[in-house]
Amino acid sequence: MLIAALVIGVLTAYYLGFKPGVLAAGASAILFVIAATVPGCALGAYAVIGVGVLALCTIGPRVQKQSNKQRFMALGRDLLKRGFKLLRRK
């Protein structure tokens, strides 16, 4: 199951970046441990992981990776929009 968690992490890192990949690998590893120790949760845990991998494989290629500069500019733009909305309300 550890290999499966690593594969999920690598797949996520390929499509979404390193940090989400590490988080996905850790979360899936924890979910696999829970599935192995709690017999009643195994089917639900495997279903959640399966749906997540299926969603990642279908949506992942459509998501474009942004450079750090693009992310910073998008964040600044969003913050400015929120600030202007707050000023317009008053």
- Compute the mean pLDDT over every residue in the chain, rounded to the nearest whole number: 84
**Confidence at residue 73, expressed as pLDDT on a 0 to 100 scale:** 77
**Confidence at residue 30, expressed as pLDDT on a 0 to 100 scale:** 93
- Which pLDDT tens digit goes with each residue over 8-17? 999 888 888 8
Domain boundaries defined on the chain: 2-65
Indicate the angle between helix axes 42-59 and 2-16, nearest 10 degrees: 30
**Confidence at residue 25, expressed as pLDDT on a 0 to 100 scale:** 93
Q: Report d(CA 45, CA 84) in Å as an integer.
A: 44
Low-confidence ranges of the chain (pLDDT < 70): 64-69, 71, 90
